[in-house]
């Protein structure tokens, strides 16, 4: 261990920052958040530092060169200049007076390192690479940020508020630890994080005073949108819930890469559907979610795209609501938005489309029951989910109801993933163009003149090693 990690109280303590450029401004801002009284010394002061001083009376600026007399009474010193001789002088002087010093980007001159900070006050986490790679530390911080909800600090204050009451009512200490683990990872915490803070506090107080064991039986269902495939498109909340779930009930369209992010010891139940091949009927899925929650389990219902856009999420939570089971819904990036973006096809554009319509292309009795007159109107974008089998009928119907035969249309297969394919054409020729192309679901169709922008705006290029036409095979 090259550095001993610790947290230092700087409230109302005198700290010195030598330098007043943009890097110094960031350090001053951090010290100000910690409540320090900050002296800034530099021959020239940047606009950013001037603005910080204007907004904080605890920042005092001295426009001059650093001298060794400036370090008296300082609790901590940071040197952030671009002059090697000044940095060395600051470090040597601080070291001679046993004052902790940090010289930005010069680990050899530092007695302490400023870490990358995850601030959920009063809870704090700090990450450091020991000065070897600040960028690496920031990347690790970003990963931790995604796992720690913004409300985590307020939750910590709530725990502090009831700490004495828990100690008074729950013994022995081992039981208190188990109690807090269940509170901070269970339904009470999720109520808090979803904005129901008063209800969460009421349930916490009731649990402390009456029956801590009731927490064992309070299951919950999280209806989570997994997005179109790229795991980087998951929301922070989705990832957090996936990593604390006891059971994950997932669809065919949830990519393997995303499924690998769930808690490793979680039970995984596959309920995917394909055309004319449903592994479990929808009604059975609804009841499965309810049963698992009643068993006291935290259940993630993981769905491709967004649960409320052709995801039948409404049907699932209706069953949960009817049976008084706690649930929350986490939106995901729907396939229309994700696939269009990765294909370089804007869904709306001032010169092409002033509206966008999402429809499902499922066939019944070899027909698609859609409002063809409305869909054939110009000046809009049409996005068709689940339209691969009925593409020929869809294109023919649009032309019959007034759409021009050369209206651009794009097929996007496995959009946002390394297996993404984009094939463009027109209403009149795309069905024939796709023959013998080995096209497999999941696919999405975008219709409208916005498709003509694809060649100029495409930016995402799948790795050639993975750019295949193989089926997506879900984990089962």
Domains for the chain: give ranges and CATH numbers: 14-114 (3.40.50.720), 152-216 (no CATH), 220-333 (3.40.1010.10), 336-457 (3.30.950.10)
Mark whether 268 is an active-site residue: no
pLDDT value at residue 218: 65
CB atoms within 10 A of CB 329: 19
How would you list the strands of the sheet with 76-79, edge to edge? 59-63, 37-42, 14-18, 76-79, 101-103
In this structure, are residues 467 and 421 in contact, taking their beta carbons and an 8 Å threshold?
yes
pLDDT value at residue 186: 78
Query: Which pLDDT tens digits describe the chain residue by residue (476 residues)?
Result: 788 888 999 999 999 999 999 999 999 999 999 999 999 999 999 999 999 999 999 999 999 999 999 998 899 999 999 999 999 999 999 999 999 999 998 989 999 988 888 888 888 888 888 777 878 888 888 888 877 888 888 888 999 999 999 988 888 776 787 788 778 877 888 888 888 899 999 989 988 888 655 445 568 899 999 999 999 999 988 998 998 888 999 998 898 899 999 988 899 999 986 655 556 788 999 999 999 999 888 899 999 999 999 989 999 999 999 999 989 999 999 999 999 999 999 999 999 999 999 999 887 777 888 999 999 999 999 999 999 999 999 999 999 999 999 999 999 999 999 999 999 999 999 999 999 899 988 999 999 999 999 999 999 987 643 433 333 333 32
Closest CA to 327 of 246, 196, 192, 220: 220
Neighbouring-strand partners of residue 17: 40, 78
Exposed / middle / buried, residue 417 (Cβ in 10 Å: 0-12, 13-18, 19+): buried
Catalytic hit among 182, 230, 251, 306: 251
Does the pTM exceed 0.85?
A: no
- Extract the tokens encoding 243: 């990593």
pLDDT value at residue 324: 92
Residue with tokens 């940071």: 78
What's the distance, CA 47 to chain centroid?
Answer: 33
Q: How far is CA 161 from CA 148, 156, 207, 368, in A?
A: 20, 9, 14, 59
Report DSSP state, residue 471.
P
Mark whether 2 is an active-site residue: no
- What lies within 8 Å, CB to CB, of 412 at 6+ separation is 339, 340, 342, 343, 420, 421, 422, 443, 444, 445, 446
In this structure, are residues 346 and 450 in contact, taking their beta carbons and an 8 Å threshold?
yes
Catalytic hit among 106, 196, 268, 273: 273
pLDDT value at residue 470: 36
pLDDT value at residue 466: 40
């Amino acid at each position: 261990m090259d550095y001993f990690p610790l947290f230092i109280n700087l409230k109302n303590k005198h700290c010195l920052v030598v330098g007043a450029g943009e890097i110094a401004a960031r350090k001053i801002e951090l010290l100000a958040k910690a409540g320090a009284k900050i002296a800034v010394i530099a021959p020239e002061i940047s606009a950013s530092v001037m603005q910080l001083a204007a907004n904080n009376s605890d920042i005092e600026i001295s426009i001059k060169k650093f001298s060794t007399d400036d370090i008296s009474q300082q609790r901590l010193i940071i040197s952030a200049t671009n002059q090697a001789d000044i940095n060395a002088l600051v470090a040597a002087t601080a070291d001679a007076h046993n004052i902790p010093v940090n010289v930005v980007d010069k680990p050899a001159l530092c007695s302490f390192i400023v870490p990358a900070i995850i601030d959920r006050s009063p809870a704090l986490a700090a990450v450091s690479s020991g000065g070897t790679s600040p960028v690496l530390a920031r990347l690790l911080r970003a990963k931790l940020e995604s796992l720690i909800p913004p409300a985590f600090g307020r939750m910590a204050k709530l725990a502090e508020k009831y700490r004495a009451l828990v100690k008074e009512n729950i013994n022995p200490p081992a039981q208190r630890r188990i109690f807090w683990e269940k509170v901070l990872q269970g339904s009470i915490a999720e109520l808090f994080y979803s904005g129901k803070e008063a209800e969460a506090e009421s349930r916490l107080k009731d649990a402390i005073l009456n029956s801590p064991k009731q927490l064992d039986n309070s299951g919950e269902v999280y209806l989570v949108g997994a997005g179109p495939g790229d795991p980087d498109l998951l929301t922070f909340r989705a990832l957090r819930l996936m990593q604390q779930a006891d059971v994950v009930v997932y669809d065919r369209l949830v990519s393997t890469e995303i499924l690998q992010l769930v808690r490793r010891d979680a039970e995984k139940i596959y309920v995917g559907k394909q055309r004319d091949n449903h592994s479990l009927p929808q009604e059975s899925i609804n009841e499965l979610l309810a049963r698992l929650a009643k068993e006291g389990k935290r259940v993630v219902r993981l769905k491709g795209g967004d649960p409320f856009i052709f995801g039948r999420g409404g049907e699932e939570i209706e069953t949960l609501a009817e049976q008084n089971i706690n649930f929350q819904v986490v939106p995901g990036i729907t396939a229309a938005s994700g696939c269009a973006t990765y294909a370089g096809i804007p869904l709306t554009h001032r010169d092409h489309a002033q509206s966008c319509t999402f429809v499902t292309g499922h066939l019944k009795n070899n027909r698609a029951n859609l409002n063809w007159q409305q869909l054939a109107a110009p000046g809009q974008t049409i996005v068709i989910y689940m339209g691969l089998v009925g593409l020929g009928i869809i294109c023919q119907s649009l032309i019959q109801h007034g759409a021009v035969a050369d209206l651009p249309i794009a097929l996007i297969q496995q959009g946002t993933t390394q297996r993404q394919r984009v094939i463009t054409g027109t209403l009149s020729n795309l069905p024939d163009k796709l023959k013998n192309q080995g096209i497999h679901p999941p696919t999405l169709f975008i219709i409208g003149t916005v498709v003509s922008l694809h060649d100029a705006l495409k930016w995402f290029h799948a790795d050639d090693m993975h750019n295949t036409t193989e089926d997506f095979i879900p984990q089962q």
